[in-house]
Structure 1
């Protein structure tokens, strides 16, 4: 991982140089029916992903934006560092911050990385590179209750110059319509609900990670067949809380650390949702996810009912 932090720092420095245009459409790349940040994604990258050679031993993390992706990605790197200690110093080990953000040449370079490689994406199910399915790569999927996801996503868009800004009311309407980068939260969730019982899929929630990080880490390591001692797991738990991750990320993310790792709270939505907006979200959840296995896992009544 010798060049990992350097590459991450370079990407965030690039983001810092972006000036938001008056026309927000200039920040959006439309590709195969989805919206993506045009300053971070390119058609060249998406075409390169179609040729990506996955491995069965890869660790693939998937999450809708602001559901805990960056937090869990760091946890996975810590786990892999115990599984294969050489990855921390191996010059051939390429850290890929996010598949859809990576340049084609670095995706090519990742072919030399030793296993297990950690990959991640916000990509919707039908946009995941096909080789991950062909190789039956295990996929860890993280979800967060939709109300807190919406609020966190709102702040993320306003805090990053590569994403369109808006008022909360404007963003809420776009979020509910799926008119945001990576599309509809509810469509994303509905698709994964169809695959919740697939043997190569493990779905966890942000809320469960917050409530019992140790148990969730054990579940993740067992899913991937990794063997870590209780002492090793405890080290990851101690350094893997949201607060610890935020502090350790400041060197790489700089001023954007507070944007990527903002509050990490459960229930912050109550500070933003109007009563009408809350009822609208409740109705949408009822329509899409009530009675489903994923809906039950999200524990909506506990986390999203005032």
Structure 2
């Protein structure tokens, strides 16, 4: 007694809903071509540079998007540790059931709220933000976004849903973002100096990195926000798994924490076809020698990219914009 009608129906609906969403995802990926993706060109949306594949119609829809009270968000600036963190969170929300986790690719388990790859070309495809409404209500939705805080759906803030936000040294973000941009936009032949100019000015997808960081840094003490540093995650991955588990209201024995930690090491994620986006990207781009979505995942890689003047330019922004808020980087 006491079981609602939806409680009876959902166990039957859920597998069919998951199958349908998976089928839609794979069917769409199969028809995408490299020239369809618009992840390098940007437009201005309310003062923020966004990739063309983040459609203005999507951004308008997000203003009234229904957010559920138990939704969980992973929000980052691009290339700050998103895929890594979302996998940790996904494993936790699956209660450490890695067998189930490994049955579905991370890009299907964690929808990318605002992004519609190839959306400017394929207007017939159902947008990601609309498909997440079909996800079952029996368990929390884990949703990924690179949007700055002020552009997230207003209900995210009104309902104070849980958000994990990751900050990474902006120099390393620049280096990783450069290689990512070259991989996702091979037809543009992006060069480092041109990339750095766009990154430093904020005229790049998801806008000014310092504004993105500050929005969440200044809210880091709010109970529904868990702020992580990429560098700390590298130093103590197990401690990060425990911290995020507690934030999400989960308590696991040591063996489960250990299993999630091992699953989420960079080496294991890179070789796992269910956690490495390369598997999906190669279906669109074909094999690109010497490139990988999960390239190095290290601290300090920017030293091989930035000139002295470029490093000094980022240092100057950090001193002017971040230091007054006590946000610093080694």
Counterpart Cα distance in 1 of 2:293 and 2:23 = 18
> Secondary structure of the equivalent of 1:289?
helix
Partner residue of 1:58?
Answer: 71
Counterpart Cα distance in 1 of 2:51 and 2:314 = 25
Cα shift readout 1:113-169 (whole Å, capped 9, x = no counterpart) = 422110110000100111111211111101110000001111111111289553111
Partner residue of 1:230?
Answer: 254
Give TM-score, length-normalised by structure 2: 0.78
Q: RMSD in angstroms over aligned alpha carbons?
A: 3.0
Cα pair 2:54 2:114 within 8 Å, conserved:
yes
Correspondences of 1:137-152 after superposition (within 5 Å)? 137-152=161-176
Partner residue of 1:264?
Answer: 297
Partner residue of 1:304?
Answer: none
Counterpart Cα distance in 2 of 1:20 and 1:56 = 33
Q: Which runs of 5+ in 2 are unaligned?
A: 1-17, 117-126
CA shift, 1:267, in A, is 0.9
Tell me whether 1:154 sits opposite 2:171 in the alignment: no
Q: 1:78 aligns with which of 67, 91, 104?
A: 91
Tell me whether 1:273 sits opposite 2:286 in the alignment: no
Partner residue of 2:34?
Answer: 17
Cα shift readout 1:35-93 (whole Å, capped 9, x = no counterpart) = 2222x322332233223222232211100000011111122111111179998689xxx
Question: Higher Cα Rg: structure 1 or 2?
Answer: 2
CA distance 1:168–1:162, change in 2 (3 Å)? closer
Cα shift readout 1:251-271 (whole Å, capped 9, x = no counterpart) = 444348944211111111111
CA shift, 1:202, in A, is 1.1
CA distance 1:163–1:224, change in 2 (3 Å)? farther
CA distance 1:258–1:286, change in 2 (3 Å)? same
Q: 1:68 aligns with which of 81, 85, 89?
A: 81
Cα pair 1:158 1:166 within 8 Å, conserved:
yes
Give TM-score, length-normalised by structure 1: 0.83
Counterpart Cα distance in 2 of 1:193 and 1:177 = 21
Cα pair 2:86 2:110 within 8 Å, conserved:
no
Cα shift readout 1:172-195 (whole Å, capped 9, x = no counterpart) = 121111110100111111222221
Correspondences of 1:190-269 after superposition (within 5 Å)? 190-248=214-272, 249=276, 250-254=278-282, 255=287, 258-269=291-302
Cα shift readout 1:222-255 (whole Å, capped 9, x = no counterpart) = 1121122211111111110112112212444434
Partner residue of 1:108?
Answer: 133
Partner residue of 1:123?
Answer: 147
> How many pairs align?
289
CA shift, 1:96, in A, is 4.3
Cα pair 1:20 1:162 within 8 Å, conserved:
no
